[in-house]
């Protein structure tokens, strides 16, 4: 836990300030969720984090402005390519963020959707810093919370910080794809990492009547487990960008192969910066296509598209950007349907997202 010279009044004011930001930014979270943020400190879980400057991630530790930044409604990057902020040298590191403390207002929306009650058995996929696990402990009780993550060092660090902050959940190093069968069944399952489709283990380990909240297919979904083994629900309104669940088979991030000098397009690359359209586009691109910013890769046939402004460079046997162009025209024709209007269903027979337009036209996509 940080030894920075902050007194109790400063820390209390910081938590009150964050709770006030959360109430303004979230969709009227339940009072018990706001109360959790008032009572659970964030700073013990992020004694250091990175700030990016000119492509370099520089560590920021306790000092001028540090506490204010910790208790602001912002994502705090805590690990870059496996290097933790506490271990980074003063010159910083280059690379891709691999762990972070989630945007608090998004955490509040997800916790509100999860509707945790005292005594609920909770599984969290993606321990990260341990801060969300601490909030879950406050809501459900320590002995009812299990949290898992892949990294041994990350898990050990989170376990230590949770203990120092007065919380004692089960913290385990495990592949999140497998859930944690030792504590199943769970009344509530929440994931703080993105998945294309709901892993079967999560569905099996959720008790009938239980809730699952997870970023599925590019947006956060809330599903209820039914007695027949399926889980059904809708997407939350809030935009969300989560790091993907790591299973050891991550795709490389190399630049795409080129096909000539590219072609022009009326659909500017920046349409994918709109979270509402990006969600719609991902559904149309299908389960084998991974989108990394403006770069699309199809693991099935090797096709790649890299859009820059109104030019797209292509590789592989098909033009992925044509799908984006067609999806954008349909999205505009339908008056930009919102995420919360989409349904999601997961079961042993498959996983499907659905949307019913006002004119009665229905759309269904397999995840």
Q: How far apart are CA 365 and CA 103, in angstroms?
A: 29
Number of other residues whose CB lies within 10 A of the CB of residue 24: 9
User: In this structure, are residues 238 and 220 in contact, taking their beta carbons and an 8 Å threshold?
Assistant: yes
- Tell me the two tokens of residue 50: 């990175």
Number of other residues whose CB lies within 10 A of the CB of residue 244: 14
User: In this structure, are residues 122 and 170 in contact, taking their beta carbons and an 8 Å threshold?
Assistant: no
User: In this structure, are residues 216 and 198 in contact, taking their beta carbons and an 8 Å threshold?
Assistant: yes
Give just the sign of the alpha carbon dihedral 117, 122, 126, 130: positive
DSSP state of 229: S
Q: How far apart are CA 314 and CA 256, in angstroms?
A: 8
User: In this structure, are residues 224 and 231 in contact, taking their beta carbons and an 8 Å threshold?
Assistant: yes
CA distances from 159 to 123, 129, 259, 277 (A): 15, 9, 49, 38
Catalytic: 101? Answer: yes
User: In this structure, are residues 310 and 266 in contact, taking their beta carbons and an 8 Å threshold?
Assistant: yes
What is the DSSP pairing of strand 76-80 with strand 122-125? unpaired
Of these residues, 101, 105, 303, 366, which one is catalytic?
A: 101
Q: Assess whether the previous peptide bond of 185 is cis (omega < 30° from 0).
A: yes
Residue 24: what are its φ and ψ, rounded to 5°?
-75, -35
Please provide the DSSP assignment of 275-287 as one string: HHHHHHHHHHH-T
Buried b (16+ CB within 10 A) or exposed e, 43-75: bbbbbbbbeeeeeebbbbeeeeebbeebbebee
Where in the sequence numbering do the catalytic residues fall? 101
């Amino acid at each position: 836990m940080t030894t920075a010279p902050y007194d109790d009044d400063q820390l209390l004011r910081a938590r009150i300030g964050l709770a006030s930001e959360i109430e303004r930014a979230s969709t009227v979270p339940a009072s018990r969720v706001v109360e959790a943020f008032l009572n659970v400190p964030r700073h013990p879980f992020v004694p250091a984090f990175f700030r990016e400057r000119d492509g370099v991630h520089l560590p920021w530790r306790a000092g001028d402005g540090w506490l204010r930044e910790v208790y602001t409604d912002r994502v705090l990057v805590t690990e870059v390519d496996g290097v933790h902020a506490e271990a980074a040298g003063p010159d910083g590191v280059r690379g891709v963020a691999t762990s972070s403390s989630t945007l608090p207002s998004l955490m509040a929306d997800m916790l509100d959707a999860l509707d945790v009650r005292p005594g609920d058995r909770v599984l969290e996929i993606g321990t990260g810093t341990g801060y969300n696990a601490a909030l879950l402990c406050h809501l459900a009780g320590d002995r009812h919370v299990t949290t898992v993550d892949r990294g041994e060092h990350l898990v050990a660090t989170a376990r230590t910080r949770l203990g120092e902050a007065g919380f004692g959940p089960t913290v385990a190093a495990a592949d999140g794809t497998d859930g944690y069968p030792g504590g199943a069944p769970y009344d509530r399952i929440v994931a703080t990492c993105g998945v294309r489709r709901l892993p079967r283990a999560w569905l099996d380990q959720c008790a009938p009547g239980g809730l699952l909240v997870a970023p599925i297919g590019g947006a956060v979904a809330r599903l209820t487990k039914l007695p027949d083994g399926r889980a059904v629900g809708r997407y939350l309104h809030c935009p969300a960008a989560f790091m993907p669940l790591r299973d050891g088979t991550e795709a490389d991030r190399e630049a795409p192969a080129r096909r000539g000098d590219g072609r022009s397009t009326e659909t500017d690359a920046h349409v994918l910066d709109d979270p509402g359209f990006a969600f719609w586009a991902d559904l149309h691109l299908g389960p084998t296509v991974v989108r990394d910013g403006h770069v699309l890769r199809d693991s099935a046939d090797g096709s790649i598209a890299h859009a820059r402004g109104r030019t797209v460079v292509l590789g592989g046997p098909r033009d992925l950007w044509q799908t984006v162009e067609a999806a954008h025209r349909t999205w505009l024709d339908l008056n930009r349907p919102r995420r919360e209007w989409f349904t999601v269903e997961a079961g042993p027979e498959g996983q499907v997202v659905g949307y019913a337009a006002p004119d009665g036209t229905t759309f269904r996509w397999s995840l």
